[in-house]
Structure 1
Amino acid sequence: MSWSVDTPHKRLLYHTLRVDTVLQDGTSGTGTAFTLAHTHARGRSLFVVTNRHLVEGVASGALVFAIARDGQPVLGSRFELRIEDFPEAWMLHPDETVDLAIMPLQPLLDAARAQGVELYWQAIDTQQALTEEHAPALDALEDVLFVGYPSGVWDQVNGMPILRRGITATPPALDFEGRREFLIDAAVYPGSSGSPVFIARPGPQGGASFWFAGVVAAVFFREEAQRLVPQPVPASHTQVASSAEMIDLGLVIKASAVQELVHVYLSRWHA
C-alpha cells in the first residue's frame, strides 16, 4: 500500500512516540511523548516532551519510533530505543507542580543512525503554540484533537497511535484554578499522559491547520465519598484504584508551559 504523510491530519499521527516503561513494582506502563522543534537565535533545537510523572521513579524505559525510507514512514515499522537510566535522561520542569519533562531528540536520532536506522518523526513547531495573544480569540467551547496510546491501544500492524476528539470544558484563554491549565471533555485513559492537544484554526485557502494547545497530564476521578480530584493519568491500569471512577474530564497543561521548559533547557545547556 502506498502511504504518504501529505496532509495536516496525517502529520498529527507522527508527532507522537510511544513510551513503554517498567515501573518500580515490576508492572508495565504505557504513555505518550511527542517531538518538538524550536527555532532560536542560535539555530533550531529538537526535543522530546512528556509528563514528569511518566519518567520519575521508572525502573527502565524506551521510546518507540517509526522507521523512515526515502523521506516517508515505513508502514508497520517500529524501532524501540531503550534508554539507560531512563529517569536521568530527562530534564524536569523546575516548578514541581508542572507535570512536564524534556530531553533532546538529536542524540536519539544519532543512536538509531549508528545502528543503520533512520527514524521518522514530525515535530510540532513551537510557532504553532497557542499563545496568550491568540487564546482570547478562541471561543469558550472549541473542538480539540489529541493523539496518543489510550489504555496502551495502538494499531500494531501499521504502527499508528490513536486520534481522539473532544471539546474544551473550560475556556482555553483562562487559567483553570489559576494555573496554566485548561480542561477538556474527552475520554482520557491510562496511556493518554503526554498526549499533545490541538485546536483547529483557519488555514490558508480553507485548509486544515492546528494550534498546539497543550499536553494531557491528569484526569478527574470520582472517589467513594463523591469527591472529585484531579490525578496524573496513570501509565498502567493497575495504578487506578478500584474505588475511583474516571469522569472523562482531562486536565491539559498549556503550551506556554512547554515553551517555558524549552527556554529553561536552552538557558542551562546552551548558555
Structure 2
Amino acid sequence: MAMDLAIQLMQATVQVEQPLGDGTRTVGTGFLISDPTPDGRPRTILITANHVLEGMPGAAARIGFRFQNADGSWSYAPQPVEIRDAKGHELWTHHPSRDVAALAITAPPAFAKAAIPLNYLAGDDTFTHYQVEAGDEMMALGFPRGLAANQAGFPILRAGRVASYPLAPAKIFPTFLLDFSVFPGNSGGPVFMTDQDHRHDPTGVQDPQFIAGLLTQQVELNHERLEIGIVTHAKFIRETLARLDDPQAPATMVAETPVEGAKAASAEEAATAD
C-alpha cells in the first residue's frame, strides 16, 4: 500500500522553539527526513528554514515531539536539541545561497520511524514529470504564531494554489508562490502535493506524492499581508542534505530578483507568551 504522504507528514512535522527567558519564545516549523549515512546507518534529519535557527540566540532549541499513550490519547513532550556548541558555532548545515537548514538529531524511535524517506523530496524533473502548473493545489503544514492544531501538538494543515509561473527549472526559478495565509511561525514547514484522485504519473507507475519544498517567506506590501507564501524548491533541501556528509558538495548558486514585499515568516516575529 502506498504511503499517505499527508498523514505521514502530519506525524513528521514538529514545532521548533526556544524560550527567551522573558516569558516569550521564538517559534518555527520543521520536518523530519530519513537520510542514512554514507555507510548505511539510519539517520534522522530535521529540516527547517535557516533563518529559524539563526534567529534563536541560545545553544539549545526544543523540538515538539508527541507520544501516543496506551489509551489512544497523545502527550506533547518537547525535548532539547543542541543547535550551537560551547563556543557558539552552528551545529546545523545550511545551503550557501538558499534559506534551508538541516540538523542531524537523535529522535525517539516513534519519530525516527515517522521520518519521511529522502526519495519523497522533489527532484529537478518532478514538476515537469507530473506537469505541475500554476493553479494546482498544494498543502502546507506549520505552526502559525506558534499555534498547534490541538493539545497533542500536531501541526495545522492548510491548502493553497500555486500562484506563479513558470515553476521550473529550480536553478532558474528557485522559489514559487503559493496562495494561502502565512504567519510568523510557518517558516520551515513542508509544502507538498498528494493528488491521488485527479492526477496520475504519465508513465502509470505511481500517483504523485512529493514534498515540493519548504515555506520560507510571506509577502507583504505597505505592511499588509497579501496571504501569499514563498516556497523554496526541494532541490535545495537535497543539496543541503548532501553537504551534511560533504561540505564541498555541489550547490546551486542562484542570483534571484527578490519578490517585492517578501518578508521572512520568521521565528523571531513569532514571539508568543508561554
Tell me what 1:220 maps to: 219
CA distance in 2, matches of 1:175, 1:22: 39
What is residue 252 of structure 1 aligned with on the other side?
A: 231
Structure 2 residue aligned with 1:42, among 34, 39, 42? 39
Cα deviation for residue 126 of structure 1 reads 2.2
Residues 81-90 or 14-23, more deviating: 81-90
Structure 2 residue 185 is the aligned partner of structure 1 residue 191: yes
Distance 1:169 1:133 in 2: 19
Instruction: Give the alignment's TM-score, normalised by structure 2.
Output: 0.73
For 2:22 and 2:171, locate their aligned partners in 1 and report how far apart those are by CA, in whole Å.
33
Whose relative contact order is higher, 1 or 2, with alpha carbons under 8 Å and at least 6 apart? 2
Matched with 1:102 is 102
| Structure 2 Cα separation of the partners of residues 172 and 36 of structure 1 | 28
**Counterpart selection for 2:120 from 125, 128, 147:** 128
Task: Indicate the percent of aligned positions where both proteins have the same amino acid.
Answer: 24
Match of 2:262 in 1: none
Structure 1 contact 142–199 (Cα < 8 Å) conserved: no
- Structure with more of its chain in strand, by fraction: 1
Q: Report the secondary structure of 1:141's partner residue.
A: coil
Give the counterpart of 2:53 among 30, 52, 55: 55
The 8 Å contact of residues 213 and 255 in structure 1, kept in 2 or not, is answered as: yes
Alpha-carbon distance change, 160 to 183 in structure 1, aligned in 2, over 3 angstroms = same
Task: Give, in whole Å, the separation in 1 of the partners of 2:206 and 2:72.
Answer: 26
2:88 maps to 1:90: no
Q: Secondary structure at the match of 1:55?
A: helix
> 1: distance between equivalents of 2:116 and 2:45?
10
Cα distance in 1 for partners of 2:100, 2:172 equals: 18
Once the two structures are superposed, the pairs formed by residues 147-158 of structure 1 within 5 Å of their partners are: 147-158=141-152
Aligned residues of 1:175 and 1:181 also touching (Cα < 8 A): no
1:9–1:56: structure 2 CA closer, same or farther, 3 Å change rule?
A: closer
Partner in structure 2 of residue 19 of structure 1 = 16
Secondary structure of residue in 1 paired with 2:167:
coil
Contact 2:164/2:176 (8 A) holds in 1: yes
- Please state how far the C-alpha of 1:188 moved relative to its aligned partner: 0.8
Cα contact 1:8–1:208 (8 A) shared by 2: no
Structure with more of its chain in helix, by fraction: 1
Letter in 2 for 1:127: N
Distance 1:19 1:9 in 2: 20
For 1:262 and 1:251, the matched residues in 2 are separated by: 21
> Please, what is the CA RMSD of the aligned residues?
3.3
**Which position in structure 1 is the counterpart of 2:245?**
266
